[in-house]
Every structure is written in structure tokens, then in C-alpha cells.
Amino acid sequence: MQIEIVADLKTTLGEGPLWDVEQQRLYWIDSIDGRVFRATADGRELRAWDVGAKIGSMALRRDGTHALVALQTGVHDLDLESGALTLIATPETHLPRNRLNDGKVDRRGRFLFGSMDTLEDEASGRLYRLDPDLSLHVLDEKIIVSNGPCWSPDDRTFYFADTWTGEIWAYDYDIETGAATKRRRFAPVDRSNGGAADGATVDAEGFLWQALVYDGKLVRYAPDGSLDRIIEMPVRKVTSVMFGGPNLDILYVTSMAKPPLPRFPDDGQQRGALFAITGLGIKGIPEPRFGS
């Protein structure tokens, strides 16, 4: 196993790595600075879009020339050719302390995303589902910081975390309707060193990978919730993970250069970099695009 830096951009809050199989490109975001990045598997041909607001997550649309971006107060369409933004939904304009956060697309083209309290202490967030017809649905509520949405390979289980609860949740998922029900604890999160659950992905073997932010660890859980392995990262503030590359066997890891609140720890010179882990012998699953 080898850990390397792919792009040393010092992202204030790097998040949401997304490998698109059709384009063979990696996307990721800087949540605080409001930017979307795209590069080849080895970090070349770098391009960036400024979306003018804090961004929690993104997803490509079916045509590949547009993306969904979950900005601070609403979901927008981003034209990747012109950079123009078009508003789609504003679910929480009545909650000025909230912003939209982590999100992913299920294998029927729906975008599931959550919101969070920016001070990270009030359970004012929700979990939403945006359907291809652009209708918006609330799936869960009373969440402090929404993070880590992903699915089991058979689409029957949806994983999700409220960062500060100390656990990862599992829901029964109906791929036909997009319903997420019967929330339960999937696995506990070790918070003894100040870490907390952040971004996640599921590999082709059905194991869940979680970034343990502020503790500098990546944790792999078996489908039964048991701990499988831990990878120590060179920075503490690792934020999210995604498999990509031509063979889907590179694990990309985002990190943050500056903590969002004073109570969180600083990091060394490699803070804010995009990392790539090779030699794991594990592959990911292609990420779907939004739309029918």
C-alpha cells in the first residue's frame, strides 16, 4: 500500500471526491471556498469552477455537461461549460444557520443529500431526496451534521451518519421508490481521540469505508458492521473517500487545510491535499449520474 499526494491545493475544506467512469475524471470540492475541481486520475488537466457560495456536495447529471451542486441554501444546476448556476430547490431558507452538506446519487438517478448546523451543535438538519423529476422529499430529520451517504452493492441498505452521534446508521432502502426506513445502528465510531464520522463509500465487496475526521484514520467496516481494518493517514483532518482510476482501485481521500471552528485541531504541511492510496487490492463501484 502506498499513500501519495495527487493535488496539493490546500483546500480549506476539501470534500466529496467523485470519480466519473465515463469521463475518467475525478471531481472534488472545497466546501468553504465554494469551488468544484476536476482532474485526471493522476491530478493532471486540473480545472476549477467557482460557485460563489459554500458547497456541501455535487453530482454529475446524465448528459455530463451539467452537475447538481448542493450550495449553502439550495440545490442548483451548474453548467460545466459556461459556469452558470440555475436554482432548483431551497429547502431551508427559514434556517439561516444551516447549510446543505454531503450527498450522493442512487442507482436509479436520485440525489440524496443532507443539511447541517454550521455551528455543529443543533439538531436542525434533515436528510432529503431529490428525484429526477426535481421533486424534493424529506427522509429523516433532527440531524446535526449530515455525512457519508452510500449504498450496499445490492441497493437494499442505505448508510448515513450524523457526525457527532458516534455511530453510523443503516436504513432499509427501496430502490424502486427511494424510501429509506427502519433506521438502526450499523457500527459504532471510535471517538476516543476526537475523531468523528465524515464522508464514506462502499467497495465492490460490500465493505464500508469511512473517513474519521480529526483523528487521521480511514476505517473499513464489514457488511455486518464489524471493524475490518484501519489506515493511518499523514494528516488528521481527512474528510471523505471514493474509489476511482481506470480500474476503480485507487482510493482518493480529501482533507481540509483549516478547521471550520476553533475547537478543532490544526494539521501539518500536507493539510488540504488530495491523497491517493494504491495497492489495496480492492475495487470500488461506479458512481451513477443524476437523472432518469
| Coil, strand or helix at 165 | helix
Q: Any catalytic annotation for residue 198? A: yes
CB atoms within 10 A of CB 280: 17
| Coil, strand or helix at 164 | helix
DSSP 163: G
Alpha helices by DSSP H, the chain: none
Q: How many residues belong to the chain?
A: 292
Q: Does 147 count as an annotated binding residue?
A: yes
- Pull the grid cell for residue 251: 482510493
Catalytic residue among 33, 140, 198, 215: 198
DSSP 246: T
| CA within 13 Å, CB half, 146 | 29
Q: Cα–Cα distance between 181 and 163 in angstroms, integer?
A: 20
Adjacent-strand bridge partners of 238: 255
Alpha-carbon separation of residue 140 from 49, 243, 263 (angstroms): 31, 27, 28
Q: Cα–Cα distance between 281 and 220 in angstroms, integer?
A: 14
DSSP string, 171-204: EEEETTTTEEEEEEEEEE---TTS-EEEEEEE-T
Residues 277, 245: contact at Cβ < 8 Å?
no
Q: Does 247 count as an annotated binding residue?
A: no
Q: Does 15 count as an annotated binding residue?
A: yes
Phi, psi (rounded to 5 degrees) for 275: -105, 155
Residues belonging to the binding site for substrate are: 99, 101
Residues belonging to the binding site are: 15, 99, 101, 147, 198
Report, as residue numbers or ranges, the catalytic residues: 198
